[in-house]
Amino acid sequence: MTEVIDLGEYGDEFRSDPHPVYERLRERGAVHRVRLQAPDAHHVTWLIVGYEEARAALADPRLAKDGSKIGVTFLDEQLIGKYLLVADPPQHTRLRGLITRAFTMRRVEELRPRVQQITDDLLDATLPHGRADLVESLAYPLPITVICELLGVPEMDRTEFRKLSTEAVAPTSEESEYDAFVRLAEYLTELIEDKRRAGPSADLLGDLIRTTAEDGDRLSAQELRGMAFVLLIAGHETTVNLITNAVHALLTHPDQLAALRADMTLLDAAIEEALRYEGPVENGTFRFAAEPLEIAGVPIAQGESVMVGLTAADRDGARFPAPDRFDIHRDARGHLAFGHGIHYCLGAPLARLEARTAIRSLLERAPDLALDGAPGEWLPGVLMRGVRSLPVRW
C-alpha cells in the first residue's frame, strides 16, 4: 500500500518554508502520495516534486483539468462556471482563442505608461512616511488598480474585494471559502449585466462581451463570468505575491540587491530568478488522470488527482544547481512559475511589466530600502505562495 505523507504534520513551519520538506521528498522520489494541510486536509492527492516530471505533467493531455470527466466538480466551478483553468481541449482551445483576440500583447504594451503612473502615484503617497507595509502600499494596489482599469471594473470597495479574492485562493476555512465564492459570483454577474446594459466600451470586459470568432462563436454569460473571475483574481493575486516575494528576496540577500543597484540591466534576470526562487503559485490546481498512467515509475490510477509542485520543481538541483541560492546572475529561464504547455499563464507579460515597473521605481526612489521587521504570516493552503505583509523602511 502506498504511504500517504501528511503535510499537515509539518505545521506552520511547512507554511513559512516548505522547501526543506520538498527537498527531502525529492531525495526519495519525484512523485508522492500526500494529504494536504487544513483547510484542504480531506484531500489526498499525488504531488510531483521533480522538475522534469513536473514540466512533462503540465503538458500531458492524459492529465485532465476538467474534473467532470471523472465526476468531480469543485466549488469555484459550481458557483462561477467553466473557465480556462478547469477546461481541456477542445473547450479550452475555444475559450483561450476567444480571450486572446481581446487580451493581446499590444494591449499589454499600451498599459506601460499607466502602470508607471499608478506606481509613481503610490510611491508619492508612501515615501514621505519613511516606512510602510509594502503589500498595502504598493504590491496590492498596483495590480488591482491595473486589472480593474483593464477590465473596466468600476471603483469598488477594494478592501472588501481583496478579502473575498484572497479567501478564494488562500482559504482559511471551508465555510469562508464558500461565502467568498458566492459573493464573487454575485458581484461578477451584476458587473457583466451592467456592462451589457451600458453598451460598447473600450475595456477588456466590454471587448469580451462583443468578441466573436470567424464562425460566429461567442462567450456565454456563464463563460464570461468565468473569464472575468480568472482575469480579476489570477490577474492580481499572483502579481501581489510576485512583487512582494521579489522585494523580500532582494532585501534578505544584500549582495544581490547591491549587484542589482549597481547594474539595473540585471532587473529582468532578477525578476526571473525571483519567480524561480519563490514563485507566487506554490502548486498548480488539480489535474485528474483521464486514464491509468505512470509518472517516474509510479502508477497513477484513472480518476486520481495530481498536483504539480511548481515551487518544488523550481528548487530541483538537477535542473537549477545550488537551487536554494538566490542569484540574479543565474539563467533562470525554463522555470515553471507561470506553468508550461496549453495552460501557460495568459497574464505573464502583464505580471512581468508590473513587477519590473514597481521594483525599478521603488529601488530608484528609496535608495536605502530595508526590512523593518519580520514579514507577516505566509498565506494558508498549498496554492498561493506569499506573505500577508512586508514591513519596509527607507
Of 274, 311, 253, 298, which is closest to residue 28 (Cα–Cα)?
Answer: 298
Torsion of CA 150, 151, 153, 159, to 10 degrees: -70
Q: How confident is the model at residue 1 (pLDDT cuts 50, 70, 90)?
A: low
Pairwise CA distance, residues 53 & 215, whole Å = 38
208-255 pLDDT tens trace: 888 765 667 778 888 888 888 888 888 788 999 999 999 999 999 999
> Phi then psi for 268, rounded to 5 degrees?
-60, -40
Q: What is the mean pLDDT of residues 314-331?
A: 98
Residue 111, pLDDT score: 94
DSSP states of 104-165: -HHHHHHTHHHHHHHHHHHHHHHGGGSEEEHIIIIITHHHHHHHHHHHT--S--HHHHHHHH
Vertex 106, ends 65 and 269: CA angle to 5°? 75
Residue 174 above 80 pLDDT? Answer: yes
Distance of alpha carbon 313 from alpha carbon 275, whole angstroms: 12
In Å, what is the CA distance from 232 to each residue of 46, 116, 132, 184?
A: 29, 20, 26, 10
Is pLDDT of 154 > 80?
no
Residue 157: the pLDDT is 63
Helix, strand, coil fractions of the chain, as percent rounded to 5: 55, 10, 35
| Amino acid 68: pLDDT | 84
Q: Quick one: what percent of the chain has pLDDT higher than 70?
A: 97
Q: pLDDT: is 235 or 322 the higher one?
A: 322
Q: What is the mean pLDDT of residues 270-285?
A: 97
For the chain, the residue count is 394
Confidence of residue 200 (pLDDT cuts 50, 70, 90): confident
pLDDT above 90: residue 387: yes
Confidence class for position 256, pLDDT limits 50, 70, 90: very high
Share of the chain above pLDDT 90, in %: 64
Segment (H or E) for 376: none
Mean pLDDT within 70-75:
77
Distance of CA 122 to the CA centre of its chain: 23
Q: Is the pLDDT assigned to residue 40 strictly greater than 70?
A: no
Give me the pLDDT at residue 304, please. 95
Q: Which residue has the higher pLDDT, 77 or 247?
A: 247
pLDDT of residue 336: 98
Alpha carbon of 9 to those of 103, 174, 282, 315, 353: distances in Å? 43, 19, 18, 22, 39
What does the pLDDT read at residue 41? Answer: 61
Quick one: pLDDT at residue 298?
97
Segments making up each domain of the chain, as ranges = 4-393
Read off the pLDDT of residues 100-135 as tens digits, 9 standing for 90 and up.
888 888 999 999 999 999 999 999 999 999 999 999
pLDDT number for residue 214: 61
Mean pLDDT of the chain: 92
Mean pLDDT of 87-103: 90
Give tens-digit pLDDT for 263-274. 999 999 999 999
Q: Does domain 4-393 have CATH number 1.10.630.10?
A: yes
